[in-house]
């Protein structure tokens, strides 16, 4: 696969992940278990089922300007809506604005029409448009995915994610991989120094230190903010610096920027400098280079979309912020079914020459060879504690609190990151 070519062509639209405001569960299950579909971009699509129970409920899913085929947020939103149409019997239309300037006019047009019970807005780019529109149409329901307007309205639900939970699982496995490779350092290439990334940092560092505690194998963490979500060259340079500092695994939480880190890891391996792996985030990104991207953290936008639609169908709608975590199937680590799903999307869109089966087989082999069973066991133990509510992470409300938590975690004080529960 020509990785360099990908970075310069259609890849720019693939993973400009909506990380500025909040950036699946370990098992790839409903919602989001739908069949593989092609991803030709459209400005409007429609689907419905023969169900009569929810026949009158109509939903419009509004993608960001990238539209379908991004192998990330928009495609996951489509997946969740497909599941809702199938299981809940709603009718769903899909629309893609031509540009950010078209967002507010489109949103107002749909709101004024009154034909939809729910308008689902995918990603933070919709935040300003919604803030300027929602108050003018109090009878129109809106669901904003992975962002918040900061205003509590009865007709608006903002669905966010518990990034600390998935990042902590990633941290455990990253530490295990590093130890398996004979190293003691892992890294993370991050985007901007903003609150959503603080949560990733806390979770990742917690997971590494949790592994330390359970095994006695000390692993160091390199965390670097690049200040950007759209600079692959910066991602490459930062990734290469971490590899030179001894990092055996690098986690990408920088959107398009960390694609450059993926390329750095591949070059490092191919030039014979040593064995190292990368870890993706949000959608399954193993397809980009399965020989060197061993895992991806999951942010289940499909689950968020399905949840919003279900709230309308079953009458449980309540305005405000709703946060999805591991127990809600909202975050986690993509399993091989998830890897295959996104590999199929990539193959259908000519982003890779490897078939989905080939990609899955490579990833499966890499995981079996380089992730020790001990690390999986520790990860599953932590996962169960989080799902059961024994462990609840703090969400820092200030940079000062964030820095304090990080400092304590670096000292080995895992409880500093917890709102509930203790680790010993």
What is the count of structural domains for the chain? 2
Residue 47 pLDDT exceeds 60: no
Can you give the residue range of the structural domain that contains 70? Answer: 20-162+301-331
- Residues 269-295, mean pLDDT to the nearest whole number: 97
97 and 229: one domain? no
307 and 285: one domain? no
Given a contact cutoff of 8 angstroms between Cβ atoms, the answer to whether 41 and 10 are in contact is: no
Residue 35 pLDDT exceeds 50: no
- Is 5 inside any structural domain? no
284 and 306: one domain? no
- Is 14 inside any structural domain? no
Alpha-carbon span 62 to 90, nearest angstrom = 16
pLDDT confidence band for 230 (50 / 70 / 90): confident
Q: Tell me the pTM.
A: 0.84
146 and 172: one domain? no
Domain at 171, CATH number = 3.40.50.2300
340 and 205: one domain? yes
The pLDDT value given to residue 72: 87
Give the residue among 330, 255, 322, 258 at the shortest CA–CA distance from 289: 258
Given a contact cutoff of 8 angstroms between Cβ atoms, the answer to whether 254 and 189 are in contact is: yes
80 and 117: one domain? yes
37 and 53: one domain? yes
Residue 355 pLDDT exceeds 50: yes
Give the residue among 191, 123, 121, 203 at the shortest CA–CA distance from 162: 203
352 and 245: one domain? yes
76 and 63: one domain? yes
The pLDDT value given to residue 158: 98
- Is 6 inside any structural domain? no
172 and 280: one domain? yes
The pLDDT value given to residue 187: 98
- Is 4 inside any structural domain? no
113 and 35: one domain? yes
């Amino acid at each position: 696969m020509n990785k360099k070519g990908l970075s310069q062509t259609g890849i720019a639209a693939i993973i400009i992940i909506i990380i500025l405001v909040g950036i699946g569960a370990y098992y790839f299950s409903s919602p989001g278990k739908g069949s593989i579909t092609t991803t030709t971009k459209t400005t409007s699509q429609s689907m419905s089922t023969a169900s009569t129970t929810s026949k009158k409920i109509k939903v419009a899913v509004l993608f960001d300007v990238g539209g379908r085929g991004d192998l990330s947020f928009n495609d996951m939103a489509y997946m969740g809506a497909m599941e809702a149409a199938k299981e809940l019997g709603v009718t769903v239309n899909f629309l893609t604005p031509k540009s950010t300037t078209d967002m507010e006019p489109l949103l107002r047009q749909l709101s004024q029409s009154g034909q939809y019970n729910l308008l689902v807005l995918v990603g933070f780019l919709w935040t300003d448009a919604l803030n300027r529109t929602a108050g003018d149409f109090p009878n129109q329901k809106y669901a904003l995915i992975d962002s918040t307007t900061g205003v509590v309205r009865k007709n608006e639900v903002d669905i966010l994610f518990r990034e600390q939970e998935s990042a902590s699982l990633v941290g455990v496995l990253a530490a295990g991989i590093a130890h398996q490779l004979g190293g003691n350092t892992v890294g993370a290439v991050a985007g901007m120094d903003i609150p959503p990334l603080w949560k990733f940092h806390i979770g990742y560092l917690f997971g590494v230190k949790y592994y330390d505690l359970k095994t006695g194998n000390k692993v160091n963490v390199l965390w670097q903010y690049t200040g950007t979500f759209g600079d692959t060259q910066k991602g490459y340079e930062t990734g290469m610096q971490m590899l030179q500092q001894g990092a055996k695994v690098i986690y990408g939480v920088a959107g398009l920027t960390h694609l450059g880190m993926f390329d750095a890891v591949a070059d490092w391996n191919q030039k014979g400098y040593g064995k190292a792996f990368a870890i993706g985030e949000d959608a399954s990104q193993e397809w980009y280079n399965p020989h060197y991207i061993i895992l991806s953290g999951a942010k289940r936008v499909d689950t968020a979309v399905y949840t919003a639609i279900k709230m309308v169908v079953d009458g449980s709608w309540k305005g405000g912020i709703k946060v999805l975590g591991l127990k809600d199937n909202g975050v986690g680590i993509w399993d091989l079914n998830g890897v295959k799903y996104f590999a199929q999307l990539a193959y259908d869109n000519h982003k890779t020459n490897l078939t989905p089966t080939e990609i899955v087989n490579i990833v499966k082999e890499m995981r079996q060879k380089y992730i020790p069973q001990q690390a999986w066991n520790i990860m599953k133990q932590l996962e169960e504690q989080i799902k059961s509510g024994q462990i609840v992470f703090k969400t820092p409300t200030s940079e000062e609190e964030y820095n304090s938590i990080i400092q304590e975690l670096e000292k080995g004080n895992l409880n500093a990151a917890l709102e509930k529960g203790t680790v010993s």
